Structure 1
Amino acid sequence: MSTRAYRGRSPEQRVAERRGRLLAAGLDLWSELGWSGVSVRGVCARSGLTDRYFYESFDDRDALLLAVFDQVRDELTGRLLAVPFTGEPRAVMRTMFTVLVTALADDPRYARIAFTEPAGCPALEIRRHDALLAVAESVAEGVRSAAPEENPRDLHGTALFCVGGVGGLISAWLAGRRPEAPEELAERCTDLCARVFGV
């Protein structure tokens, strides 16, 4: 690989830019066609890059799509973790759910990839499970910080129960089975979790 800068960009910057274009194409195609409908050829055509550049960044199609999932997960969890865990616990919950539901409503691609696409890929299911556990841990820490005197005995288990239930509500909402406005869904999630946590 050349080490010379081209148009003011280093080789590393050019690789990163191409990788970003491939990820963007993968995100679009996955949301449009589903996991099984994405191909290396289609990603290359959408990104305007050759397969040489695809394999520069990814071993195969699944590696690209797992990286797309990681990107979506990190974006959504980053927004949630940016919510300050201070103040009245119910208000904190409402803010978190509003942030999450608004993000999904604003970008339906994220919704399909994070919640509704049954890919049938074991590696993706492991990632989804790990993401669920990580979010539950963050919620447990938030509740512990906001209301230390009101914590349930099994705080992590309670958080995991709530996060799983919220995921079910959001999946039903995304499928059109709960015709609620985003703010109504966020309030519903807040009500249910506040009851479970006893805050």
Structure 2
Amino acid sequence: MIPEMSTRAYRGRSPQERVAERRERLLAAALDLWSELGWSGVSVRGVCARAGLTDRYFYESFTDRDALLLAVFDRVRDELTGGLPAAPFTGEPRAVMRTLFLALFTALAEDPRYARVAFTDPAGSPALETRRHDALLAVADAVAAGVSSVAPGDFRGPALFCVGGVGGLISAWLAGRYPAAPEELADRCTELCARVFGV
């Protein structure tokens, strides 16, 4: 049951602000636990303990654990794809792609927690599997639309191929099987994807 919200301010913060602050604490705790234990290791009790909150406050923001996991995934997805421009691309395709790749690899290097959430196989969670699949399709469609704006053609297939390939490279990189600096990875991915797109 979601607790009733008081309408009184407390320490200068409105009830809505306090709810938002508690929600952020729960999301941060869940991100930490996910990065340490994998998504299956995230539990309502564990998240509440890490956030220093009771179950009562969990259910004022989330209906269940799946809702929390999806919110964490969406937050990470938005952080990693926030630089993805809407079509059309403004600039030379290779330069645009390199900028996007460099931003992605830099973000992953700066906060490895994002990598565990975005690139670890979510098998066993239908909700997360669907969300990740939809996210990959959305990225591929955005890239295909951007490339087609400067080099007319149907690029959805090549875009899906590149998204899958980059995901595999990232997995190897994160596992230490493809050591390289973010700049080197950006250059390599740009070159490979440019060949696939023929631009």
Q: Under a length normalisation based on structure 1, what TM-score does the superposition of the two structures give?
A: 0.92
Residue 80 of structure 1 deviates from its aligned partner by 2.8
Give the letter for the 1:185 counterpart.
Answer: L
Give the percent of matched residue pairs that are identical in Structure 1 and Structure 2.
83
Unaligned ranges ≥5, structure 2: none
2:173 — aligned with what?
173
Question: How far off is 1:62 after superposition?
Answer: 2.1
Structure 1's 10 and 84: CA in aligned 2 closer, same or farther, altered over 3 A? farther
C-alpha RMSD over aligned residues: 1.7
- Equivalent residue, structure 1, for 2:157: 157
Determine the C-alpha separation between the residues in 2 that align with 1:101 and 1:38: 25
CA–CA separation in structure 2 for the residues paired with 1:21 and 1:31: 15
Asked if 2 retains the 8 angstrom alpha-carbon contact of 1:69 and 1:113, the reply is: yes
Query: Take 2:76 and 2:166, find their aligned partners in 1: how far apart are those partners?
Result: 18
Q: Does 1:195 align with 2:199?
A: no
Q: Which has the higher helix share?
A: 1
The C-alpha deviation readout for 1:128-162, integer Å capped at 9, x for no partner, is 000001101111122123x2xx334x311221111
* In structure 1, C-alpha distance between the alignment counterparts of 2:157 and 2:36, rounded to whole Å: 35
Q: Which residues of 2 match residues 12-23 of structure 1 at below 5 A?
A: 12-23=16-27
How many pairs align?
195
Aligned partner of 1:163: which letter? V
Distance change >3 Å, CA 95–CA 194, structure 1 → 2: same
**How many angstroms apart in 1 are the aligned matches of 2:88 and 2:17?**
34
CA distance in 1, matches of 2:163, 2:12: 46
Correspondence 1:1-199 to 2 at 5 A: 1-81=5-85, 85-145=89-149, 147=150, 150-152=151-153, 154-199=154-199
Query: After TM superposition, what 4+ stretches of structure 1 lie above 4 angstroms from structure 2?
Result: none
User: Taking structure 1 as reference, are residues 48 and 82 closer, same or farther at Cα in structure 2, changes over 3 Å only?
Assistant: farther
How far off its partner does 1:23 sit? 0.4
Deviation larger for 115-124 or 176-185? 115-124
